[in-house]
Every structure is written in structure tokens, then in C-alpha cells.
Amino acid sequence: MIVYKFGGASISNIERIQQVIQIIENIEAGEKAVLVISAMGKTTNALEKVVDAFFQQKATEALQLFEVIKQQHLTVAKYLLVKEYNTCYARMIDIFTEVEWLLHDKPVRAYDYYYDQIVCCGELLSSTIIHFFCKENGLNTQWIDIRDVLLTDNNFRDAGIIWDITAQKAQQVFLNTAHSIYITQGFIGATTDNESTTLGREGSDFTAAILGNVLEAKSVSIWKDVEGVMSADPKMFKEAVYIPELNYNEVIEMAYYGAQVIHPKTIKPLQNKHIPLLVKCFLNPSLPGTIIHNAKHLHFPPIQILKDKQVLITFQSLDFSFIGGQSIQNIYAFLNALKLIPNLIQFGAISVQICLDDKAEKINELAMLAAEKFDVQVQKNLQLFTVRHYTAAILNAMNAEENVVLRQQTPITLQILKLQKQ
């Protein structure tokens, strides 16, 4: 069993979908494969606008926005399909109707619930089109509604996986039948009450890893529009290079510091079962891509990551007492309550400094909560620059940087927090 994940960019237009079919056709005969499909292009962003309009009780606007998404998908299906068009059309209409029914109601439940019921149609539509296009090309694929397999709690928009039931269902659905190529959706799941859920933006990578784990896949491949994992964003760093081999730990570190490589939740399910993760280029499938596995003693180039929109919060004890376990516990209780994860922490004698993503509302709440126990200062408009495996030249350059408000260094990682250029 192998798992392939195709992201939104790889199926954003007709030519790309045709390219993806070639990759599917090249799966070796006799190999079982699960193909995890994201929504086409920027569909999820467009669906988010539908949810916003609906929730603000602008029903006509919501329906109009949805109509545009419908027409885009119908156009793609019409272009790609001849024999299979009618069956595909009927399936798509079912998916549209489900959303339209909901849009005709008034919102009475929480925003996140509606978000998941509406946004999930992006993946249902794209996977339906790809499935029928495979059939049109003579591939005997089987379409699976992942909501019958991937069961979650009802923490809408960030649903937690119910692993034991998911494993059981996935094995029943994907392993016990004669089919060899399955097409299903990334990013979405369902509660045991059959309500749709989503796993958080960019969650399709995570779906591929979950299925890889429970089906004990040989490998999981993520098909992207880049050669493989890069050492930095090539748009910002001319010295960015492609990295052929990485290990799980390095990728987790990279994701933590803000590299937009792979959804951070993807690694653990694969690492636990020693399943290699391949990052492959759909524009040129013959390129080797990047392999991420358990390798030790790898030599890495300097990996550079910029994270914008950071804030630095300084918590200083009110009575000038030393910072001890109790103060740290208090700070962590506030962070946990608001589901905030620090990007960097520095301890001083009477203060703790924490760098966080600037989610303005939550930062205000945190500052208010903490003000009872600390003197709190908030500094905004910062940028966190992290370099792993830095060289002497990079060290010198970073030492010469101006407007630095915090600096941290270990033998492997060097970080500076500096004022963001406006």
C-alpha cells in the first residue's frame, strides 16, 4: 500500500489534472494505492467567504459566492469528461444541494460548525472529478467518502482523530476489497453523529499521514510544485538549495520555527511506524524529490526560516521576586487556556519573555489575564529569523543585524527577533 497526496496547486487547472493522471497511471500494476485529494486551487479560501456571508446572514451573497464555485467545478468537469460526465454531474449536484440546503437556513449554531459543513465540499468535489477523470482514462478507481472512515471528535475546524475506530474502518474499507486505487479526500472527517469536521487548514498532509499510519503504508508521497524541500524560501533567499534527504526530527524543528514545508501534525504518525515521507514534484515526477525518514548523521545545509507578525511579551514579577516554578506555571496556564504556543522563551531573574504569533485578540486576552500577576509589556511588529546549522559567515552576518530585540543561540540553532521592516 502506498499513499499519495495531491495538494490544491497540483489540481488547480485542467492541464495540471491531466498531469496528475499520468502520475496515477504510473503506479505499478498490482500496487494498492490511496490517493488523498485536496480542494482545487484556492477553493477553500473561496468557501470560507461563503461561510462568512452565511454567518452574517447575507444569504443571497452566500448563494452567489457559492454559485461561482459551482460553475468553476462544473466547467472543469465538462472539459475533462465525456463518457463519465453525466454520472459525475449527478454526484456533484448531490454535493451542491447539501450545501445549498444549509445556506437557505438561518445560522443557529456556532460558526465553526457551519464552517466544516460548508468547506468540506471543496474536497468532495475535487475528488469526485478526479475519480471520474481516472475512469474516463480507463483506470478502475474506487471513490471513498473519507467521512465514513476518518472519525473525529466534534472540535470543529480542528477536529481530533478517534484513532481506534478510524484504524478499524480504514482497514475494512481500503484493505479488504479487490480494488487497487482508491480516491478520497484530505482535510475532512466526521463525528460519530455524521456531522462533517475539518482538521485545520492545510490538513490534507495530515490525512495522508493518518491513512499511512493505520494502513501501514510502504511510503507516503506528497506531490507539490517544488523540486523537494528547500533550505529556505527561494523567493526571499537566493542561496536556498534543495535538500534531498531529511529526518523526521529536522522537519518537525523546521515546521515549528515556521517553515511552510509540511503540516506539522504529519510527521508523528509516520515516525511512529517508520514510514518514509516523500516530497515529490508533480511538474517533473522523474526528479527524486526529498525523502524524510529515520536517518541519523545527515549533513544539512544552513536552513533559514523567517516568521513574520511576531509579538514579544515580557512578564515581570510585580514585587521584583525571582521568577520561579509558580510564575512559570501561571504563565503556562494562561497560554494553555488560550491555546497559544510560544515560538521562543527567554528567562531572566525577574522576568520571562515569550515570543508568539500575533493573533491580536488572543494576545490582548493574554495580556489582560496576566496583568493580575505580572507587569506585562507587549512589543509588536517583530520578525523571528531562525537559522539551523548556521555557518561562521551567517553567524557574523546575524551578529551585525540591527534592531534586534532578542537573540538565542545553541550549537545548532541561532535565532534573532528583530523589528519588522515596515
Binding site for Mg ion (CB under 5 A): 7-8, 38
Q: Cβ distance 305 to 259 under 8 Å? A: yes
* Torsion over CA: 229, 232, 233, 234 (sign): negative
Q: Is 187 in the site for ligand ASP (CB under 6 A)?
A: yes
CB 52 within 8 A of CB 112: no
Per CB under 6 A, the segment of 10-18, 38-46, 266-274, 376-384 that binds ligand ASP is 38-46
Helix axes 85-104 and 111-119, enclosed angle (nearest 10)? 170
| Binding-site member from 10, 38, 117, 197 for ligand ASP (CB under 6 A) | 38
Cα 400 from Cα 409, distance rounded (Å): 15
Q: Is 203 in the site for ligand ASP (CB under 6 A)?
A: yes
| Distance in Å, CB of 322 to ligand ASP, minimum | 44
Residue 334 contacts which entry, ligand ASP, Mg ion, none (Cβ below 5-8 A, type-dependent): none
7 contributes a contact to ligand ASP by CB under 6 A: yes
**Contact between 44 and ligand ASP (CB under 6 A)?**
yes
Q: How far is the CB of 189 from ligand ASP (least distance, A)?
A: 12
**Contact, 37 vs 123, CB < 8 A?**
yes
Judged by CB under 6 A, which stretch of 70-78, 201-209, 290-298, 342-350 contacts ligand ASP?
201-209
Q: Which does 302 bind (CB under 5 to 8 A by kind): Mg ion, ligand ASP, none?
A: none
Cell numbers that stand for 114 in this block:
457551519
CA 405 – CA 416 distance, rounded (Å): 8
Closest CA to 152 of 142, 143, 144, 162: 162
Query: Cβ-closest residue to ligand ASP?
Result: 204
- What whole-number distance in Å separates Cα of residue 374 and Cα of residue 315? 6
CA distances from 314 to 48, 126, 189, 377, 380 (A): 35, 46, 40, 5, 12
Question: How many other C-beta atoms lie within 10 A of the C-beta of residue 372?
Answer: 10
Among 202, 222, 248, 261, the residue binding ligand ASP under the rule CB under 6 A is 202
Partner in contact with 266, chosen from ligand ASP, Mg ion, none, beta carbon below 5 to 8 Å by kind: none
Among 11, 117, 186, 343, binds ligand ASP (CB under 6 A): 186
Q: Binding segment for ligand ASP among 21-29, 199-207, 231-239, 385-393 (CB under 6 A)?
A: 199-207
**Stretch binding ligand ASP (CB under 6 A), from 16-24, 36-44, 90-98, 142-150:** 36-44
Q: Of 37-45, 88-96, 237-245, 315-323, which part binds ligand ASP (CB under 6 A)?
A: 37-45
The nearest distance, CB 43 to Mg ion, in angstroms, is 10
Q: Where are the alpha helices (DSSP H) in 11-58?
A: 14-25, 43-55
- Verify binding: residue 8, ligand ASP, rule CB under 6 A: yes
Q: Kindly tell me which residue out of 128, 185, 204, 247 binds ligand ASP, with binding defined by CB under 6 A.
A: 204
Give the C-alpha separation, 67 to 306, whole Å.
38
Q: Which residue has the cell 493505520?
A: 214
Using CB under 6 A as the binding rule, whether residue 41 contacts ligand ASP is answered as: no
Choose between 231 and 266: whose C-beta lies nearer to ligand ASP.
266
**Nearest residue to 22 (alpha-carbon basis) of 132, 153, 133:** 133
DSSP reduced 3-state for 6: strand
201 is a site residue for ligand ASP (CB under 6 A): yes
| CB 227, min distance to Mg ion, A | 18
Other beta carbons within 10 angstroms of residue 260's beta carbon come to 11
The binding site for ligand ASP (CB under 6 A) comprises 7-8, 38-39, 44, 122, 186-187, 201-204
